[in-house]
Amino acid sequence: MNFTFGIASELYKKNIHPRVYLSEDELPQFQKILRSAPGKKILDALRERIKQQTDRALENKAGEGEPPALSGDSLELAFFAFLDNDERALEVVRNNLAVASEVENNPPPNQQARHRLGASGAGHLAMAYDLVHGHLDQKERRTFCRWVYKSGIRQTLDALGPRYYNGAGANIPMNQLMNVIRILMSIDGEECVPNLEKDWSFALSMFEATLNTVVGPEGYPSEDMGYGTGMFSRVVQLAEALRRGGFLDPYKVCPRYSKFGDAILHFVQPWGKNLSTTGDHGDDIGARTFALARLAEETNNPNLLWLNGTLSYGGKEVQLRKDVQTECSIFALLVADKLGDGVHPAKTNPQPATPFRDNSRGIVSFRSGWDKDDTFVVFDGSQRCPAAAGHDHSSCGHFSISAFGEYLAIDTGRYNMEQNCHNVVLVDGKSGRDTKGEWEFVKHPGILKSFRPGDFVDAASVDSSHQHNCFWARRHIGLVKGNGAPAYTWVVDDINKNNDWAEYWWQLHTCPENTIQTFKSHASITGWRHGNKMDVHFALPDAVEYPRPHKIFELTQDVKETSSYNYVGKVTKERMKMFARPSDQIHYSTFQRPRLLVKIEGYNGRFMSILLPREKGMKAAKVKRLKSLPGSLAMSITFDRVEDVLIFAHEHNLLEAGTIRARGHWCVVRRNLNSGKIVEHAVGDGFLLGE
């Protein structure tokens, strides 16, 4: 439908209903849209759902002496009462409007009402009121509006108060505010409610604060996948209605609003289908279709339509074409004419490396390209916006890796708060911050310190000292791309517990159904999807650098479970039945997963790891620790056609190993094995001197 700024403003001035998303004048054009695909497919599926809701509601209508009950989805039912003149749906909606105000104001004595509706559900009921307004008599309007104003606006705004601004990006207060605004849009101008000017002013100010805190400056959601993506999608539903009514234009007052779609695009798995999990939920984006379609239109980004079509969450989905589906909802209907063919990112090639920092979530995504077999890395700085605290993990320095169609190093998702649930180093085998088995957010943030994208190497670094509870804890990561070899990842850890001997347990949690094979000094992970692999190698400081040499004293594996064991309870076979197969845990909470453990001891935790994905049957690369200057680490990685030399200097910037000499924090130099010539190189904050 039309979401041009102010397109419905005259309807509000004249108190003409409906108006929030659709008007009488727009109905003929809208019905025309719905007679063609994909609108017709969504509409047919919704009509079937509405029939089931109305049948169930009318069959279960409360009898004499029984408490009244709310039935079905009032907003959906009202939509079809308006769209189709569906008398049965209208009857259910009218009953729900009456029940809401009656039950709330006069609960039946000595018995529990079958459904009590607080302010949290009043917003969608108010939008249902907007759609069926013309079918209600004066008494019905007056009764509902008086109740919903008192319960849904005044009580909620008073409860939120000035403190709302301190948590404007958190999901619970956001939901309460958004219900207030839905009600304001639905009953503004009605004779039976007082002047709403002050309520509007207060609510819009708070909503603008939410726009600036629900996502960071680059558009990444403050509460990650699941919570963050779902909440922002709800924000879009409301923000576009406000824009339509002329109350607020989110694209003008909040530039980051338009960046959400592109931000989320950078977290889709290389093969599509799912996003990558990044926080205390799963990999979903609830109510995605309306948000992605609106942002695709306003930002002229057809990749977002592809994203909508490749994602699928079962249940309320409509198949549009082979491997293309969309959400089945009235909000999807509102953008049905915009759901044309999306464009795969491989055809437009968006910048593959994207940071999300600057007083926001502190997270980075890298990828070697946009094809299904490319390598995709998420690197987590674990910064959090204080206005959206509550689901924070000890994930600073965590990395996730997908390659060759396999999810090889995973984010474990919901209920996995502590360091022992992330791909980070444990000091002395323990998490730096102990939640004592509860589902409790971690109060100590991390810091995403640097981000350096490049044609050959993308790199970033974090400081996790607060979460490790150490003198210092830093991690550096790079994704090596280029021609001649599969993309791979290098990681350098630099941890000082207390200037003394300690154990450092390097962890990698992998997808359930993947397998781990350990060898004397390296390991290999095999993916369950296609049998492709990732080899993991390590380099320790030279023995002469410390009074006692570092060493790997155990390279092993185990099965790790959630850190919220007291809250969640025992992971039983019964609980696991919620997943069709073990690997499906990655889409919500990975309660049980294989973990690679490499236990290193030394005077500090300075070591390098190399993670090398390869296709099944592909020969493994040869990895060798090279002699380098003290205070640095170096490795050579030899493939079939090229050889890379990787050197990292902790402080002195002297990069010297083999025949390579450079100055900077790190370098990767690629040589063609046939010609012996250097074909590609990258130096972090420095330059290559030569050989």
Q: How many CA atoms lie within 13 A of 608 on its CB side?
A: 24
User: Residue range 492-505: average pLDDT?
Assistant: 96
pLDDT band at 390 (very low <50, low <70, confident <90, very high): confident
Q: Rounded distance, CA 486 to CA 636, Å?
A: 15
Q: What does the DSSP 8-state code read for residue 277?
A: P
| pLDDT, position 402 | 98
User: Model confidence at 385, in pLDDT bands (50, 70, 90)?
Assistant: confident
Q: At 108, is the secondary structure helix, strand, or coil?
A: coil
Work out the average pLDDT over 651-675: 97
Give start and end residues of each alpha helix (H) in 360-417: none
Ranking 338-352, 554-568, 599-613 by mean pLDDT, the lowest is 338-352
Provide the percentage of residues in the chain whose pLDDT is more than 90.
87
Show contacts of 201-205: CB within 8 Å, 24+ apart.
202/157, 203/157, 203/177, 204/242, 204/247, 204/248
Q: Which two tokens stand for residue 132?
A: 């069926």
C-alpha to C-alpha distance for 205 and 607, rounded to whole angstroms: 50
| pLDDT tens per residue across span 425-457 | 999 999 999 999 999 999 999 999 999 999 999
What is the average pLDDT across 454-480? 97
Q: 113 pLDDT band (50/70/90 cuts)? A: very low
Tens of pLDDT, residue by residue over 361-378, are 899 999 999 999 999 999
DSSP 557-600: EEEEE-S-HHHH----HHHHTTSSSGGGGGGSB--EEEEEEEEE
pLDDT at 62: 57
Has residue 101 got a pLDDT over 80? no
Cα–Cα distances (Å) from 503 to 494, 549, 643, 674, in that order, read 13, 13, 32, 42
Above 80 in pLDDT, residue 687? Answer: yes
Q: What digits encode the pLDDT tens for the residues 16-42?
A: 999 999 999 999 999 999 998 899 999
DSSP for residue 133: G
Q: Find all residues with CB under 8 Å of 120, minimum gap 6, and list them.
A: 175, 176, 179
Whole-Å CA distances, 558 to 150, 255, 277, 508: 56, 46, 22, 11
Least confident of 338-342, 458-462, 534-538: 338-342
Of 530, 533, 531, residue with least CA distance to 519: 533
pLDDT at 222 over 80: yes
Mean pLDDT for the stretch of residues 171-181 = 95
pLDDT for position 472 = 97
Pairing of the two strands 678-684 and 551-561: unpaired
CA–CA distances in Å: residue 256 to residues 205, 262, 385, 530: 17, 11, 15, 38
Pull the structure tokens for residue 190: 């009605």
* 612 CB-near residues (< 8 Å, 6+ apart): 486, 488, 534, 535, 536, 537, 620, 621, 623, 637
Concatenated DSSP letters of 135-178:
GS-HHHHHHHHHHHIIIIIIHHHHHH-GGGGGGTTSHHHHHHHH
At residue 352 the predicted structure's pLDDT band, cuts being 50, 70 and 90, is confident
Residue 112 binned pLDDT confidence (cut-offs 50, 70, 90) = very low
Q: At residue 115, does pLDDT exceed 60?
A: no
- The pLDDT, as a whole number, for residue 354 is 82
- Three-state DSSP state, 306: helix
User: Chain-wide mean pLDDT for the chain?
Assistant: 93
308-336 confidence digits (pLDDT tens): 999 988 778 999 999 899 999 999 999 99
Question: How far is 138 from 78, CA to CA, in rounded Å?
Answer: 18
- How far apart (Å, rounded) are the C-alpha atoms in residues 177 and 171? 10
Is residue 643 over pLDDT 90?
A: yes
**DSSP tag of 224:** I
The model's confidence at residue 690, banded by pLDDT at 50, 70 and 90, is: confident
Could you give the residue ranges of the DSSP H alpha helices within 479-582? Answer: 565-568, 573-576
Q: How confident is the model at residue 64 (pLDDT cuts 50, 70, 90)?
A: low
Give CA–CA dist 647/666, Å, rounded: 5
Which is higher by pLDDT, 61 or 335? 335
pLDDT at residue 34, rounded to an integer: 93
pLDDT band at 110 (very low <50, low <70, confident <90, very high): very low
Tell me the per-residue pLDDT of 476-488, one tens digit each, with 9 for 90 and over.
Answer: 999 999 899 999 9
pLDDT digits (tens, 9 = 90+) for 407-430: 999 999 999 999 999 999 999 999
Q: Hey, what amino acid is at 545?
A: E
- Dihedral (CA of 596, 598, 604, 610) sign: negative
Residue 63 has pLDDT above 70, yes or no: no
Q: What is the pLDDT of residue 358?
A: 63
Q: What share of the chain is helix, strand, coil (3-state, %, to 5)?
A: 35, 25, 40
Helices 303-310 and 288-299, axial angle in degrees (round to 10): 170
pLDDT at 111: 41
- In whole angstroms, give the CA distance from residue 142 to residue 258: 39
Stretch 179-189: mean pLDDT? 96
Q: Return phi, psi of residue 175, to 5°.
A: -60, -40
The pLDDT value recorded for residue 416 is 97
**367 and 352 Cβ atoms separated by less than 8 Å:** yes
CB crowding 467-491: b at 16 or more within 10 Å, else e = bbbbeebbbbbbbbbbebbbbbbbb
Task: Determine the 3-state secondary structure of 545 from DSSP.
Answer: helix
Which pLDDT does position 120 carry in this prediction? 44
pLDDT of the residue at 116: 44
pLDDT at 152: 87
Percent of the chain clearing pLDDT 70 (strictly above): 96
